[in-house]
Amino acid sequence: MTDDHPSKSQSNPSAAGGGVLLVDKPAGITSHDVIYRLRRIFGIRKIGHAGTLDPMATGLLVAAFGPGTKLLQFLSGLDKKYEGEITLGATSTTCDAEGELTPTDPLPEWPPEEQIAEAMRGAEGEIEQEPPVYSSIKVKGRRLYEYAHQGLEAPKVKPRQVRVDSFRLVDYSPPAVRFESAVSSGTYIRSPARDLGERFGCGGYLSALRRTRVGMFKIEDSATIPQLASDPEEAAKRLLAPAESLPHLPMIQISDQAAQGLLNGHSFNPGDVISPGADCAPDRDIAICDQRANLLAVCRFSQLENQFRPFRVFHLSPTDG
């Protein structure tokens, strides 16, 4: 998701090819609100992010600046990690704390901790997940939540294949269930929160959520908006260069001659690689850098042709000589 409006600001942190900034989103604002505030802080318009957080959620938002927004297609599908809280004893129209809450009939006693933990483990694995009615998925040109807000019946959405690597109980103090979860991109944590309440017949909704990891990016390396706003020049130093922004991809460096051809859309041979050792399995995305570690492209190796073929050439400005 990007906003692309040229800016003439002299304090543009994307002037040397852009890059990625890790931001700790606060609760109560949208992901687009974060982008708007970053524009104000840095004086540029071309900023995007690699995955929306709901307004009630906090945590890691991966933002890309300037030409670095070209990297977003390789960041938006990364796995995510979360920590959060489920509240039992009520249902929500949105499956989270932002919806209309309806208390359920009280149980004689809360489910025991062992059963809660077992039910959560049962939600792990490859599953088909039906997106919540209040979600940003587009159907027939409109987002699902727009149908809900206008009181219209939302079109049926096919369940999507997602992966829940872990859904682990951290603390149980009824009605609060604290958890940690690792999931594939596109997984809605609201859904297992709702399902847990339904499993025990007491209702449940997501009452807090914090994203702690996106791929190899960690919340510990992020900065809050007030930190960024207090010293924009210092904040700009937090910007990860393009070559540092794809740590999940194997990376190789190539000769200057091959680099020039690659920027013109040409393939190159294994003999042009000057930093062998990366996992260059066929059809896998591989980050390609020149001899000065400037990111040039993402390529895929064709075993049939014995060549690295360009998948996306970036034409980013070099970060150094």
Q: pLDDT digits over 147-161, tens only?
A: 666 666 667 777 889
Stronger pLDDT, 69 or 233, i.e. the higher one:
69
Given a contact cutoff of 8 angstroms between Cβ atoms, the answer to whether 319 and 68 are in contact is no
Query: What does pLDDT average to over the chain?
Result: 88
Q: How many residues does the chain have?
A: 321
Catalytic residue among 3, 24, 33, 54: 54
Q: What is the pLDDT of residues 1-54, one digit of tens each?
A: 554 433 333 345 544 568 999 999 999 999 999 999 999 998 888 999 999 898
The residue written with tokens 């609201």 in the block is 190
Whether 256 sits among the annotated catalytic residues: the reply is no
CATH architecture of 2-77+216-241: 2-Layer Sandwich (3.30)
- Residue 153 has a pLDDT of 67
Residues 151-204: pLDDT tens digits?
A: 666 677 778 899 999 999 999 999 999 999 999 999 999 999 999 999 999 999
Superfamily of domain 80-214 in CATH is Pseudouridine synthase (3.30.2350.10)
**Distance separating alpha carbons of residues 108 and 1, to the nearest angstrom:** 47
Nearest by Cα to 318 from 241, 264, 265: 241
Q: Is the pTM of this model over 0.85?
A: yes
What's the Cα-to-Cα distance from 132 to each of 76, 104, 148, 263, rounded to whole Å? Answer: 20, 20, 11, 43
Query: Tell me: domain 249-313, CATH 2.30.130.10, correct?
Result: yes
Torsion, Cα of 28, 31, 37, 38 (10° steps): 140
Per-residue confidence (pLDDT) for residue 29, from 0 to 100:
93
- Tell me how far CA of residue 39 lies from CA of 76, 81, 141, 312, in angstroms: 20, 27, 28, 26
Do domains 80-214 and 249-313 share one topology? The answer is no
Q: Where are the domains of the chain?
A: 2-77+216-241, 80-214, 249-313
Higher pLDDT, 318 or 117: 117
